[in-house]
Chains A and B, each alone.
Chain A
Amino acid sequence: MTDPLATSLTRRGLIRTVAAGAGALTLGFPLAPPRAAPADTGAAWASAVNAWIAIGTDGAITIRVAQSEMGQGVHTALPMLIAEELGAAWSSVRVEMAPVDDFYRNKLTGDYGTHTSSSLRGGYDYLRRVGAEARGLLIAAAAVAWDVPGEECSAADGTVLHRPSGRSLAFGAIAARALAPRGGLSAFRRPAASATAPKARSDWRLLGTPLPRIDGPAKVLGRAVFAADIRLPGMLHAAVRNAPVIGGRVASFDATAALAMPGVAAAVEVPGGVAVVAASWWQAKVALDRVQISWATPASGALDAAAIVSALQATAETDSGASAFRAGDAKAALERAHRVVAQEYAVPFLAHATMEPMSCAAEVTPEGCDLWVGTQGQINLRDTAAAFTGLPRDKVRVHTLYLGGGFGRRYQVDVARQAMAASRAVNRPVLVLWSREEDMGHDIYRPAALARVRAGLDAAGGIVAWRHRVVGPSINAGENPGGWKGGVDSYAVEGAVEMPYRVAHRRVDYAQREFGVPVGVMRGVGYVMNVFATESMIDELALSAQRDPLRFRRDLLGAHPRLVRVLDEAAAMADWTAPMGAGRGRGIALADAYGAVMAAVVEVTMRPRGRISVDRVYAAVECGPVVNPAIAEGQVEGAIVFGLSGALTGEIGFKDGATVESNWDDYRVLRLDATPRVDVKFLASDGPIGGLGEIGVIPMAPALANAIAAASGRRLRTLPLSRHGIEVE
Chain B
Amino acid sequence: MARLTVNGQAHDLAIDDDTPLLWALRDALGLTGTKYGCGRGLCGACAVHVDGEVVWSCTVAVGAVAGKPIVTIEGLSPGGVPDAIQQAWIDDSVVQCGYCHPGIVMAVAGLLAANPRPTDADIAAAVPNICRCGTYPRIRCAIEKLAKR
Contact = CB atoms under 8 A, between A and B. Distances in A.
Interface of A: 70-73, 76, 210, 212-213, 215-226, 228-229, 231, 237, 262, 279-282, 353-357, 402-407, 433, 435-436, 628, 630-631, 634-635, 637-642, 645, 663-665, 669-673, 675, 677-678
Interface of B: 15-16, 19-20, 23, 26-28, 30-40, 42-43, 45, 72-74, 76-77, 80, 82, 85-86, 89-102, 105, 123-125, 127-140
A637 B123 CA distance: 18
Contact of B33 (A71, A222, A237): A222
A237 B27 contact: yes
B25 to A, nearest CB: 10
A223 B134 CA distance: 21
Q: Which 6 A-B pairs have the closest CB atoms?
A: A222-B33, A641-B134, A71-B96, A219-B98, A404-B99, A222-B73
B93 A216 contact: yes
A433 B85 CA distance: 30
Contacts of B134: 637-642, 645, 670, 675
Given A355-B99, A630-B92, A640-B134, A221 B28 contact: no
A644 to B, nearest CB: 8
B74 A282 contact: no
A11 to B, nearest CB: 22
A155 B33 CA distance: 40
Given A222-B34, A642-B132, 18 more contacts: A213-B90, A215-B95, A217-B90, A218-B98, A220-B101, A221-B77, A223-B33, A224-B98, A231-B30, A281-B26, A282-B19, A355-B45, A357-B36, A404-B97, A405-B99, A664-B37, A671-B128, A673-B128
Contact of A678 (B86, B89, B137): B137
Nearest to A617: B137
A74 B34 CA distance: 24
Nearest to B121: A673
Contact of A638 (B38, B124, B135): B135
Contacts of B15: 280
B136 to A, nearest CB: 4
A404 B125 CA distance: 24
B93 A222 contact: no
B81 to A, nearest CB: 9
A637 B95 contact: no
Nearest to A677: B137
A630 B30 contact: no
Between B40, B124, B136, B140, the greatest number of chain A beta carbons within 10 A of the residue's beta carbon is seen for B136
B93 A71 contact: no
A212 B91 contact: yes
Given A212-B93, A670-B134, A220 B23 contact: no
Contacts of A645: 134
Given A216-B89, A669-B132, A403 B97 contact: yes
B93 A213 contact: yes
A1 to B, nearest CB: 11
B137 A220 contact: no
A523 B96 CA distance: 15
B130 A669 contact: yes
A436 B128 contact: no
A642 B39 CA distance: 22
Contacts of B98: 71, 215, 218-220, 224, 402, 404
21 contacts: A76-B93, A212-B92, A219-B95, A219-B98, A220-B85, A220-B86, A222-B76, A224-B98, A229-B32, A354-B99, A355-B100, A355-B132, A402-B97, A402-B98, A405-B132, A634-B93, A645-B134, A663-B42, A671-B128, A672-B128, A675-B137
Contact of A637 (B45, B73, B138): B138
Given A71-B96, A282-B19, A433 B36 contact: yes
Nearest to B33: A222
A405 B98 CA distance: 8
Instruction: Tell me what chain B mostly uses at the interface: helix, strand, loop, or mixed.
Output: loop
A222 B137 CA distance: 21
A226 B96 CA distance: 13
B27 A282 contact: yes
Contacts of A71: 95-98, 133
Contacts of B89: 216, 220
Contact of A664 (B23, B28, B130, B137): B130
Contacts of A675: 134, 136-137, 140
B90 to A, nearest CB: 4
Contacts of A402: 97-98
Nearest to A679: B137
Contacts of B80: 221, 223
A223 B77 CA distance: 11
Contact of B93 (A73, A218, A433, A642): A73
A215 B94 CA distance: 11
A69 to B, nearest CB: 8
A70 B97 contact: yes
A218 B33 CA distance: 10
A220 B96 contact: no
Contacts of B30: 231
B61 to A, nearest CB: 11
A615 to B, nearest CB: 12
Contact of B95 (A220, A237, A433): A220
B86 A221 contact: yes
Contact of A672 (B31, B38, B99, B127): B127
A341 B139 CA distance: 44
Contacts of A217: 82, 86, 90
A231 B128 contact: no
Contacts of B73: 220-222
A450 B125 CA distance: 38
Between A228, A262, A669, A672, the greatest number of chain B beta carbons within 10 A of the residue's beta carbon is seen for A672
Given A71-B98, A630-B92, A221 B38 contact: no
Nearest to B45: A355
Contacts of A225: 32
B97 A356 contact: yes
Nearest to A635: B96
A664 B140 contact: no
Between B95, B100, B128, B139, the greatest number of chain A beta carbons within 10 A of the residue's beta carbon is seen for B95
Given A221-B73, A642-B134, A630 B93 contact: yes
A585 to B, nearest CB: 22
Contacts of B131: 355, 641, 672
Contacts of B101: 219-220
A354 B30 CA distance: 23
A404 B124 CA distance: 23
A630 to B, nearest CB: 4
A641 B137 contact: yes
A355 B35 CA distance: 9
Nearest to B73: A222
Contacts of A630: 92-93
A222 B93 CA distance: 15
Contacts of B132: 353-355, 405, 407, 642, 669
Contact of A221 (B43, B82, B139): B82
A405 B37 CA distance: 12
Between B125, B135, B137, the greatest number of chain A beta carbons within 10 A of the residue's beta carbon is seen for B137
Given A221-B73, A237-B27, A675-B136, A355 B130 contact: yes
Nearest to A638: B134
A193 B128 CA distance: 56
A436 B16 CA distance: 23
